[in-house]
Chains A and B, each alone.
Chain A
Amino acid sequence: MSVQVVRALLAAFFSALIALPVGYFVAVWAGWTLFCTGLGLQLAFHFRNFARLERWSRNPIVDPSLEGEGAWDGVFGRLYQHEKDLRGQIAARDQEIALLIAAGQALTDGVVLLDGDNQILFCNTTAESQLGLVVQTDRGQPVVNLVRHPEFVDYLLLGDFSRPLTLRSERGEDRVLSIYIIPYAGKRRLMQIKDVTQSDRLDRMRRDFVANVSHELRTPLTVLAGFLETLQEIDVDREERTRYLELMAEQSRRMQSIVQDLLTLSSIESAPPPANDVVDMASLIDKLRRDAEALSAGRHQIVVEADSKADLRGSEPELVSAFGNLVSNAVRYTPPGGTIRIIWHTGAQGGEFAVEDTGIGIDAKHVPRLTERFYRVDRGRSRDAGGTGLGLAIVKHTLNRHQAQLDIKSTPGVGSRFSARFATRRVVDV
């Protein structure tokens, strides 16, 4: 600072030094004029630089062509450096923020940030698809304007977030969401949304399974106990007695078959991989057809469409039981007069065994749950038809063990198609 002052004084002193002799030898006015001109030049020089600085300060960009003269050079240099550093810092921060946002986007859980008035500040793509938000248009929008579910609104306004809220998502497929709200930084809130559809389904399956096993076994037990009591307390004639015993035998057979199916299921689950024998499909299909005809007793038309001579690799008894299950289901759920097709087809994609019927069909919402144990579309009907409720569960497990997929297509009132797709390596061309 002092250097600048000394310089300015020196410049003034220099003008005075020239002006003084001129004023003394020539004329006083000439001396003053010269002195003023010197000072004026100095002023003009500073003003020019000041104007440059003033212009730049209106729009401070990093511009290397910006240079000052004399004492101004240092000022411009330092300003230039300062501006450049600042910009560098901002760029680094921006990148950091972008990385943080990218991390937020990468989360598999949905995240929504809310301000004190529950307006949306940020949400990631997962949350967008879970709640039907669009971040570009919905920033600043109260979240309850878009997630209008009354349960959610009450939960948010009540402000008790000790337990997560479980919400059935209203948008599209039946998803179950678990919403956590965590207050942070004063009045802001973070909404974390987990998709719990899968675990919700598993929970329900487990509950249903226990309830179903008990229920399935209790029904025949009740009948047995009832008859036993009657026989103990009342004297019945011989004929009546035989009838009771027959009914009791039937119920105990039923319990046996349920227990048998449960054991089969658990043994398939824990058994070593199936044998790798070559199963003769022609004779297997022939056997299936005969069984179907026997079960149908002439009420249905059984058609075999085997356009392939190839065989399958796997465990014969397991495959017989799985395919037999599909065929007997088709017979049982097809009204008299219907047609049942047994199809065996191989191609470049592998082999496909399918059973098609013109039966009552299954509503689409039941299809994903059909292979659950004891899952019944219509409780009364399937028990009358003599099922244990475990057939398709066994089929699915068996096919899984053979790396095959069970594919179910069905239209209510039109018919169903159950097909098992086998990989190419399971198919043996003859």
Chain B
Amino acid sequence: MNDSQHLSSQFDEDLTRLRTTVLQMGGLVETQVSSAIEAYGTGEVSSVKHIVDTDRKVNDLELAIDDDCAHLIAKRQPAASDLRLVFGISKIVTDLERAGDEAKKIAKGVRRIYEAGQMPSQYGIGVRHIAEAALGMLRQALDAFARLDTELAVKVIQADANVDTEFKSIMRQLITHMMEDPRTITTSIDIIWIARAVERIGDHAKNVAEHVVYIVEGRDIRHPAKESKA
């Protein structure tokens, strides 16, 4: 009796540590994204290297956390909500890592544009705006995970639609730009890549929020259409 209690509290400790590590990884991705946005706005290309370096750390953390998840399942055979937590974490980590990759893409795009002697913020002012929105979503998704707050998670999921609409309107704007003045095509394409990456970050934030709902409620809401048919 005493022994099993000891074991389970050890298990709880492992889970808490795992969660904290995931959130540390999330913190790294958050700073990656926010420095990428800042680089886009100010043209401080010096931070690009830092963003790329952080990506390596994020990748290492992804591997380490996945490994921990596998160990935890093998050693402790968690059930019910604990099992969902471990599964959810392993999915969240994948999404975080991809969001980090997108931040890296933004940073590299910004560097390309500046090296060509252009100012990206002149072309796509809206990009900065959706980038802030996507960063906010990512932050809220991680907060929702820390607090296991499904209400906040649902808000994040709903916010994704706004980012998508704004992304489309930026696309239209840039297309008009390109048609008016073909000299801007090179830069505009780079900005489209950046906007695309931003939109993907929003998607990953939404995925994280969906995993949070799964962890808390055991409900998989990734494909709502399918669920309602069934």
Contacts and interface: CB of A to CB of B under 8 A. Distances in A.
Interface stretch (B15-23, B98-106, B107-115, B222-230): B15-23
Interface stretch (A143-151, A264-272, A336-344): A143-151
B47 interface: no
Given A145-B20, A412-B125, A138 B41 contact: no
A142 B20 contact: yes
Interface in A148-196: 148-150, 153, 170-171
B34 A150 contact: no
B139 A141 contact: no
A145 B149 contact: no
Contacts of B31: 149-150, 170
A175 B142 CA distance: 21
B28 A150 contact: yes
B26 interface: yes
For the residues of B in contact with A, the DSSP-based class is: helix
B146 A363 contact: no
B183 interface: no
Kindly name the residue among B20, B28, B30 whose own CB sees the greatest number of chain A CB atoms within 10 A: B20
Contacts of B26: 148
B27 A150 contact: yes
B16 A149 contact: no
B147 interface: yes
A149 B25 CA distance: 10
A170 B139 contact: yes
A156 to B, nearest CB: 11
Kindly name the residue among A148, A149, A412 whose own CB sees the greatest number of chain B CB atoms within 10 A: A148
Contacts of B20: 142, 144-145
Interface in A324-355: none
Contact of A148 (B41, B142, B147): B142
B121 A363 contact: yes
A176 to B, nearest CB: 14
Interface in B1-43: 16, 19-20, 23-24, 26-28, 30-31, 34, 41
Given A141-B147, A171-B139, A148 B125 contact: no
Interface in B106-153: 121-122, 125, 139, 142-143, 146-147, 149
Contact of B143 (A132, A149, A150, A412): A132
Interface residues of A, number: 18
B55 to A, nearest CB: 13
Contacts of A363: 121
B16 A142 contact: yes
Contact of B147 (A137, A144, A150, A171): A137
A365 interface: yes
A167 to B, nearest CB: 11
B71 to A, nearest CB: 21
A132 B121 CA distance: 29
Contacts of A137: 147, 149
A137 B41 CA distance: 35
Contacts of B28: 150
Interface string B67-106: 0000000000000000000000000000000000000000
Contacts of B27: 144, 148-150, 153
Contacts of A153: 24, 27
B19 A145 contact: yes
Interface string A360-384: 0001010000000000000000000
A146 B149 CA distance: 13
A169 B158 CA distance: 25
The 10 A-B pairs at the shortest CB distance, nearest first, are namely: A148-B27, A145-B146, A145-B23, A137-B147, A142-B20, A150-B27, A146-B146, A150-B28, A148-B23, A148-B26
Interface of A: 132, 134, 137-138, 141-142, 144-146, 148-150, 153, 170-171, 363, 365, 412
15 contacts: A137-B147, A138-B147, A141-B146, A142-B16, A144-B23, A145-B19, A145-B23, A148-B24, A148-B27, A148-B30, A150-B24, A150-B28, A150-B31, A365-B41, A412-B125
Interface of B: 16, 19-20, 23-24, 26-28, 30-31, 34, 41, 54, 121-122, 125, 139, 142-143, 146-147, 149
Given A149-B27, A150-B24, 7 more contacts: A144-B24, A146-B23, A146-B147, A150-B28, A150-B54, A153-B24, A170-B31
